[in-house]
Amino acid sequence: MTIRMTTPKPAAPDALSQLARRVLLEAPPGADVSLPSAGSALENPHVYDAVARELLRAAESGRLRVVEHDTVGGLVQRLVFRRRG
């Protein structure tokens, strides 16, 4: 499953937290969700990386499980997660 994001790109670091929270809350529990990139608010690789890293931290606290993630050149390029229900 892929979540389509149509919000404008966030400008402030606090907006990144809100965006990561929104992605997590919109993810259906138990389904594999691919963090969107092209054509979304996460199109910028640095914004994608920041949101992906927030979701990785959420995984450490048990809110979700990381199914797959790829890092290239120090930036997270792909993240698939499963929200715990």
Q: What is the CATH number of the domain that holds 57?
A: 3.30.110
SS3 69: strand
In a domain, 34, yes or no: yes
In a domain, 29, yes or no: yes
In a domain, 50, yes or no: yes
Whether residue 10 contacts residue 18, with contact meaning beta carbons closer than 8 Å, is answered with yes
Q: Is the pLDDT of residue 5 over 70?
A: no
Q: Is the pLDDT of residue 10 over 70?
A: no
pLDDT at 45: 94
Please name the residue that has the structure tokens 């402030």: 12
| 38-70 pLDDT, tens digit each | 788 899 999 999 999 999 999 998 999 999 999
Give the helix/strand (H/E) hosting 21: helix 13-26
Contacts of 72 (CB under 8 A, 6+ apart): none
In a domain, 7, yes or no: no
